[in-house]
Structure 1
């Protein structure tokens, strides 16, 4: 079983604890999430959608939504961050990421529902992505955002990312961080599955 196939494993779900004790579930998006994910994007403020997609967009085009809900295509994955509210799963954030094995680079983008911002969801989601990057064997993570996106820039700075000039677009800024792919104590399902698989392979 390859690392990429491990990331599609049904156990690949994490339950994180927010500052107020609320449980935040981070899991891979499935085809059944299409309608809920589209509703999430429609409910973002115009500013949040603009920041997330680096331009004006009212919702995900059908072709792009199809990419979001099929994990693993072209080594790209999408996750949702959800909270249970009155027995119902509510999407409060999302992320999409891709891994390039040849360079070891892990590229990502995230968003958090406007109504749930300020509760540590972005920080928790970003930390979880760092774990997933390590599980893939990434040596570095990076993301791009608009220079005017003060919220994302502040989150990246607090999380230890360095800022560099974007190679193609002056309106964007790139933030990047090295990742240690051999860390031994990373609290996420991705890393645990990889360690289990490596242990099994070592026994053969």
Structure 2
């Protein structure tokens, strides 16, 4: 999948460039800044997760989770620009820059595959933000040599099903858990 032509305000030679960032227009006319996750985003990431609705948090972590442990937050913040990658979407709200979405992947033990996830703040859903975040993630996975990207999601998560379909992912029922779907894209 080729990224649509966007306003590139930094080097776009590689999606794995820590300084790369893009201003993305959304379907409602608003804009967000998308860039790789940085260590300085730790508090933003924590605040973002806390502000998710219980349903969105459940879909993101595939289970009920109230508090984010420091260990889990450490894991979410680990980005090496190859085997672990994350992009954040940032928007100005009330005079400060806040996280409104995140996409990420992590290499799996199976060669040339990575598992991905995308989460969009409840108030920012249905604007095309998930699509924008995933396009950057898919392009980076492809540039980094991955051959397959996949996601395991709750079968009840109809938003992710629609997003996966729109991005060309194939979806099957998880043979180990029928309450989940596996969305897979050959890169």
Instruction: Tell me if both proteins adopt one fold, taking TM over 0.5 as the criterion.
Output: yes
Provide the secondary structure at the position in 2 that maps to 1:40. Answer: helix
Q: Deviations over 1:14-71 (max 9, x none)?
A: 3322224433222222222111111110110000000010000023211010122231
1:165 paired residue number: 173
Tell whether 2:120 aligns with 1:112.
Answer: yes
Larger Cα Rg: Structure 1 or Structure 2?
1
Say which of 131, 139, 146 aligns to 2:139: 131
Say if 1:101 and 1:138, in contact at 8 Å, map to a contact too: no
**What is the CA distance between 1:141 and its match in structure 2?**
1.2
TM-score (norm 2): 0.83
What is the Cα deviation at residue 11 of structure 1? 2.1
C-alpha distance in 2, partners of 1:29/1:127? 15
The partner residue of 1:93 within 83, 94, 101 is 101
Residues in 1 aligned to 2:180 and 2:164: alpha-carbon distance in whole angstroms: 14
Structure number with the higher strand fraction is: 2
RMSD of the TM alignment (CA)? 2.2
Q: For residue 150 of structure 1, what is the aligned residue in structure 2?
A: 158
Q: Which moved more, 1:128-137 or 1:18-27?
A: 18-27
Are 2:82 and 2:144, in contact at CA under 8 Å, matched by a contact in 1? no
Counterpart contact for 2:141–2:149, Cα < 8 Å:
yes
Q: 2:15 touches 2:136 (CA, 8 Å); kept in 1?
A: no
In the TM superposition, 1:38-117 aligns within 5 A as 38-72=46-80, 75-85=83-93, 87-100=95-108, 103-117=111-125
Decide which structure has greater helix share: 1
Change (3 A) 1:127 1:10: closer
* Alignment partners' CA distance in 1, 2:65 and 2:82: 24
> Size of the alignment, in residue pairs?
174
Secondary structure in 1 aligned to 2:34? strand
